[in-house]
Structure 1
Amino acid sequence: MSPPKEVDVIVVGGGAAGCIVAGRLAQADPNLEILIVEGGKNNLNDPQVRQPAMFLSHLAPTSTTAKFYAGRHSELLGGRSPIVPTGNMLGGGSSINFMMYTRASKSDYDDWKTEGWSADDLIPLLKKMESYNLENPDPKIHGFDGPLAVCHGASPAPNTEEFLQAAQDMGYKVVDDIQDLESAHAFERWGKWINPKTGFRSDTAHNYVHPVMEKNSNLHLLCDSKVSKVVIENGKATGVEYVPFSPPAEGAPKPVPQSVTARKLVVVSAGSLGSPTVLERSGVGAREILEKAGVECKVDLPGVGENYQDHNLILPAYRVAPETKTHDDFLRGIPEVHAQGLKDLEEAKGIYTTNFIDAGGKLRPSEEEIEAMGPEFRKFWNEYFKDAPDKPVMFAGLVNAFLGDHSLLPGGKYVTIGTYLEYPASRGSIHITSADPYVEADFDPAYLSHPADLGPNIWGYKLGRELVRRMPCYRGEVVALHPKFSATSPARAVEIDIDTSRELQGDKGVTAGVVVSGNVAAQNEVTSEPLDKKKPIENLVYSEEDDKAVEQWMRENIGTTWHSLGTNAMKPREEGGVVDAKLNVHGVENLKVIDLSIAPGNVGSNTYSTALVIGEKGAILAGEHLGITIGLTN
């Protein structure tokens, strides 16, 4: 159906936060006319969304449910142009993300230094949005009647226990809950944003928008449409102009923008890469950038598009014993596996109810490890981490499969150890280069541009490798997906012959090397000595040459965690801010930004829960603007 030509509130972008704002407002006042304008398609009952195990399909190069932003070519990244996906369907990232239940630290929110946005202010909203089904049902920090369910999924991997035991063997604690906003140095059995009653993903569209649209007629949805600009007249947002999301065919005329009037409020919620470009096309941003792009500057706001932040991720893969239960056959598309999975899903169980990530940890380095990361990180540690014991430096988690193209590897079983840097020091930017909404923005994620980021990322690679080497199922690295160490290096990546437990040297056949048994993977010559007498594994020792190999590999492989934030920072205008504590855009009436772009600083977690709490807080603030009370509880 065609959208109304005039409504009370327009929400630009139906992502994780935008759906919460629209749904909460529509439910609070059935007389309030609200329109969501979403670039992607409707996600209603889409199996790719509802079935958790299908999450990787959204990241395929042919995907239309994600938008892929190409960053600037960077010599710091081995000459690559990094690619950063964002959600491109109703629900945004909540419809396509990895569903990892991860919360920020208390100090993350307190560091924003904004009235109404401290951790104590936000804990009621973190509780309000969730229905918690994990091991630590503490009502002071968790909620049990929210729209979004949390559980472990119904297909746990047995090697999860091997991974957690390996962490304990390395001296780390395993606890019930590291999402208590305080824990920063332990491992846990990881929760997932999955409903245990249905086995379905907990996305915001299916839990905030579709139920309201079934009951109320005041919430309208316009998909497959790109907002070209917010209409600003006499310093006030009065509506939007939009065009079809897909650009016209070559040689075809450009579409004529359509318009919708907003009587009371425009909310921009197009994400950390979409929202700043919408503002800039609307005339809100740095004057020099706007004029160069051919856009009239209505509000000179230099902070728009600056302060871009992400988390740095690596995903090296490892071979495991053939009897190991992994999800590789599911990702290979084995028909029998999928058929059984769909049958099990009818009972909210089985392989379709998982994201293959059952355990992980938030970690801080030891003093010795800090020293090895170099003086730049030491300085950053002293300034940022030393007096904030709730801030982890690194995430490390077990993915129970190879996440890449399985046609590139021989058949077999694999695990991936994902590590990502929680608070990179690097800062990037995104800006328009044209008023034309179909012209791609100039995007510089600036990964590894700050020297403090290199040392901890190298530590993360080594840490993940030590964890997997202590797992009984370990059968060596997928050598092609690891640093190019010298063939004589004791730290070289190895592949192990599963039948003989001997190291394979590329195509040279089997040579004496690694013996694998129990939770011991000791580097010794193969002997007839009973395997249970082998010495416990010791950490690999990396030479200076080895470290250079890791650094080069890091530059060639490090990428996004899809955790973009910060590009419309909630700060005072004179400090480079874009929105105030009420999420009003500085210098414009009736215009708010409500999404991860308002986060002034990073968070030590997957960003989904932070997007959700921004949505819940934003709904309250939008309600106040409209004279509607939305409470802290459901």
Structure 2
Amino acid sequence: MPILSIDDVSEKSFDYIIIGGGTAGLALAARLSEDPHVSVLVLEAGKVHLNDSKIDMPVQYGATFGDPEYDWAFKTTKQKYSNDKEVPWPRGKGLGGSSNMNFYCWIKPPAEDIDAFEKLGNPGWNWAEYEKYSKKSETFHPPAQEQINLFPHTFDPNFRGTSGPIQVTIPPTVHTIDKLVQGTLVNKGIKVIKDPYGGDITGTWIASANLDPKSWSRSSSATAYLQPHLNRRNLGVLTGTLVSRIIVDDRLKDEELRVSGVEFLLEKDKYVVKANKEVILCAGAINSPKILELSGIGRPTILSNLGVDVKIDLPGVGENVQEHIFVGISYELNPETPHETFDLLADPVYAAKARELYALGKGLHRSSISSFSYLPLSAGNPVEAPIIADKIEAEIKERQEKGLLPPGLAEQLSLQISTLRDEASPDFELVAFPGFFTTISKPEAGKLYFSMFCMLNHPFSRGSIHATSKDPSVHPEIDPHYFESDIDLELLVQQFKFLRTFPDSEPWKSGVVREVDPGPKCQTDEEIRDYIKNNLTSTWHTAGSCSMLPREKQGVVDPKLKVYGTKNLRVADISIIPLHIAAHTQATAYVIGEKAADLIKMDNV
């Protein structure tokens, strides 16, 4: 163990079966298998992918996207409010899941976003608990002196973990871009955050990354939580398995249902593995609701269309979907300042040299995306901010009076409006990418660029993810309802217009030659709106499809992550997030995996 063959699994039994060897799933498996008296099996659809340079080496952004060896390659339906655009949703396939293919940004949310979980009916899901499990998941390595000499990196060790599996550091970043962006924001009156990992992220700061400074390789759930425990006799992993359903036993009187195992396909043959204690679904916000539906758990109309018998009427499955999105703006840099941006890697000679340097622990392949700013709506437009908040509040009140809001949604939207009005809470997210990231134009040889991302963190629109076939290989229908609530588009427009004020301030004024995309042809609000609709990109942070909410408010799991109506089935991935957070979701996925392990252990003493 732990890499098993089918003969080790088929018709065998394990105490815990974890569906999905991704970010949360492997964290959960490692923690549960700390008890040598229990057996743990992980079923993963993808391949092993350990010691794979395509994953491990940084600054290969998007290298695995669209590759079926690594990527589920999901795609949304045509988006009615975004010019019928279909948006790719890459997701990691293989041990490590999306922790293998994300941009390794290590970001934690503001405390109030996590406290909102508790306000929505989930005791024990608050910032204090989040911080405890977050520290448990990480080991922070302070930046080297050579980095501090280039840029004044700051941190507070009280906010950082010291003994967790995920290796985290402030990597050698493109400090010239950091100086340009951070300096401009400071000159525009934005507060500098000393360390954004203690619950206050509203301001501008340099992010950490989940990179191991000893090897400068990606620290993923596979390398951090699984690889060190390959000799555990009670932990097993079977790859290449496509789960077709969770086996739900027939109901006895009015008791909650018990799940007894998992049915899966391996090379088109069907097998069953039995669960002695629990099944935990960690397949991610796209596949977790699909698997529940294929197992007879969900909205009866959806199950009827699939030809699946209803085991548990649970209408919240696949609903309340919230997704972060962003749009990029690219800029040409003034060549008088020497920059070493990611564009240089397009030159084969430079790229070969960079790989040689990486083997020596040097060079650009140690870098990451570094400059982040989380700002309140009022920072971009103090005059219109309260007007925008009033408008959305009036729209929601009207929808509620007409009975157009699903159960529980009014409480979520009320919290979002409070955040929108709070000048200490972030709504904008601006990220600097040290390279060309837009698609209208092409970078010119010999020139250097960077891009700014305007990101939507608290979408008011709600989407859905539902199975469309009993065939488990068929992707579910993904409809995030982008911009169904116009306020989401308006918030991105406001960020865009705020960035357009940067050329009035130094060092931007001297350091940037021109805006390349969308450029001077895009000026009016309508032109900006159209640019956003045509060029929006998913941030790949889907949440809410198995929301942790009261059952009567379209909840799928309770605060112990148990699926309503079941004795021993849980969901433990970011699909359980009931209200989206102002953060990239990787660090939070580990928190969910870590906390889930303790919840399960307490219930199975």
Residue 469 (structure 1) shift: 6.8
1:325 to 339, 351, 373: 339
Q: How does 1:159-178 map to 2 (within 5 A)?
A: 159-178=177-196
The CA deviation string for residues 95-131 of structure 1, in whole angstroms up to 9 with x for no partner, is: 1111112111111111112111111122111111111
1:478 to 494, 507, 516: 516
User: Which residue is 2:587 aligned to?
Assistant: 609
What is the CA–CA distance in structure 1 between the aligned matches of 2:174 and 2:441, rounded to whole Å?
Answer: 25
1:448 matched to 2:483? The reply is yes
Q: Which runs of 5+ in 2 are unaligned?
A: 143-152, 251-256, 395-412
Residue 595 (structure 1) shift: 0.3
Residue 227 (structure 1) shift: 0.7
What is the CA–CA distance in structure 2 between the aligned matches of 1:16 and 1:416, rounded to whole Å?
Answer: 28
Maintained 8 Å contact 1:154/1:349: no
Change (3 A) 1:165 1:578: same
1:232 matched to 2:262? The reply is no
User: Which residue is 1:103 aligned to?
Assistant: 108
Indicate the SS of the match to 1:164: helix
Indicate the SS of the match to 2:331: strand
The CA deviation string for residues 480-501 of structure 1, in whole angstroms up to 9 with x for no partner, is: x45843xxxxx5xxxxxxxxxx
Residue 342 (structure 1) shift: 2.5
Indicate the SS of the match to 2:226: helix
1:547 to 525, 529, 536: 525
Change (3 A) 1:299 1:466: same
1:145 to 163, 168, 172: 163
Indicate the SS of the match to 2:198: coil
Q: Which amino acid aligns with 1:219?
A: L
User: Which residue is 1:25 aligned to?
Assistant: 32
Q: Which amino acid aligns with 2:220?
A: D
424-433 or 138-147: which moved more?
138-147
Indicate the SS of the match to 2:217: coil
298-307 or 410-419: which moved more?
410-419
User: Which residue is 2:391 aligned to?
Assistant: 376
Change (3 A) 1:159 1:182: closer
Change (3 A) 1:237 1:467: farther
CA RMSD of aligned residues (A): 2.2
Q: How does 1:273-352 map to 2 (within 5 A)?
A: 273-322=286-335, 324-332=338-346, 334-352=347-365
What is the CA–CA distance in structure 1 between the aligned matches of 2:114 and 2:131, rounded to whole Å?
Answer: 10
Q: Which runs of 5+ in 1 are unaligned?
A: 246-254, 486-490, 492-545, 628-634
Residue 136 (structure 1) shift: 5.3
1:90 to 90, 95, 106: 95
What is the CA–CA distance in structure 1 between the aligned matches of 2:534 and 2:438, rounded to whole Å?
Answer: 16
1:211 to 228, 247, 250: 228
What is the CA–CA distance in structure 1 between the aligned matches of 2:362 and 2:335, rounded to whole Å?
Answer: 24
1:7 to 14, 17, 22: 14
What is the CA–CA distance in structure 2 between the aligned matches of 1:610 and 1:483, rounded to whole Å?
Answer: 39
Maintained 8 Å contact 1:370/1:378: no
Residue 599 (structure 1) shift: 0.8
Residue 330 (structure 1) shift: 4.2
Maintained 8 Å contact 2:46/2:95: yes
Indicate the SS of the match to 1:86: coil
Indicate the SS of the match to 1:76: coil
What is the CA–CA distance in structure 2 between the aligned matches of 1:328 and 1:577, rounded to whole Å?
Answer: 43
Change (3 A) 1:42 1:482: farther
Residue 276 (structure 1) shift: 0.3
User: Which residue is 1:528 aligned to?
Assistant: none
1:437 matched to 2:472? The reply is yes
TM-score by length of 2: 0.86
Percent of aligned positions that are identical: 30
1:56 to 29, 51, 62: 62
1:125 to 128, 133, 149: 133
What is the CA–CA distance in structure 2 between the aligned matches of 1:390 and 1:201, rounded to whole Å?
Answer: 33
1:112 matched to 2:117? The reply is yes
The CA deviation string for residues 170-201 of structure 1, in whole angstroms up to 9 with x for no partner, is: 111223222321232x1112211111222111
What is the CA–CA distance in structure 2 between the aligned matches of 1:18 and 1:563, rounded to whole Å?
Answer: 16
TM-score by length of 1: 0.83
Maintained 8 Å contact 1:225/1:244: yes
Residue 376 (structure 1) shift: 3.0
The CA deviation string for residues 57-83 of structure 1, in whole angstroms up to 9 with x for no partner, is: 022x34531222221212311121222
Change (3 A) 1:347 1:183: same
Change (3 A) 1:54 1:115: same
Instruction: Pick the structure with greater CA Rg.
Output: 1
Q: Which amino acid aligns with 2:117?
A: W
Change (3 A) 1:469 1:265: farther
User: Which residue is 1:194 aligned to?
Assistant: 211
Change (3 A) 1:416 1:377: farther
Change (3 A) 1:52 1:462: same
Residue 477 (structure 1) shift: 1.8
What is the CA–CA distance in structure 1 between the aligned matches of 2:560 and 2:520, rounded to whole Å?
Answer: 47
The CA deviation string for residues 493-541 of structure 1, in whole angstroms up to 9 with x for no partner, is: xxxxxxxxxxxxxxxxxxxxxxxxxxxxxxxxxxxxxxxxxxxxxxxxx
What is the CA–CA distance in structure 1 between the aligned matches of 2:575 and 2:184, rounded to whole Å?
Answer: 37
Residue 387 (structure 1) shift: 6.4
Residue 468 (structure 1) shift: 6.3
What is the CA–CA distance in structure 2 between the aligned matches of 1:9 and 1:98, rounded to whole Å?
Answer: 31
Residue 169 (structure 1) shift: 1.9
Change (3 A) 1:154 1:175: same
Change (3 A) 1:331 1:374: farther
What is the CA–CA distance in structure 2 between the aligned matches of 1:415 and 1:378, rounded to whole Å?
Answer: 37
What is the CA–CA distance in structure 1 between the aligned matches of 2:332 and 2:571, rounded to whole Å?
Answer: 45
1:580 matched to 2:558? The reply is yes
1:359 matched to 2:352? The reply is no
Maintained 8 Å contact 2:329/2:438: no
Maintained 8 Å contact 2:376/2:420: no
1:43 to 30, 45, 49: 49
What is the CA–CA distance in structure 1 between the aligned matches of 2:352 and 2:46, rounded to whole Å?
Answer: 29
User: Which residue is 1:68 aligned to?
Assistant: 73
Q: Which amino acid aligns with 1:129?
A: S
Change (3 A) 1:44 1:448: same
The CA deviation string for residues 277-304 of structure 1, in whole angstroms up to 9 with x for no partner, is: 0100011101111011111110010000
User: Which residue is 2:544 aligned to?
Assistant: 566
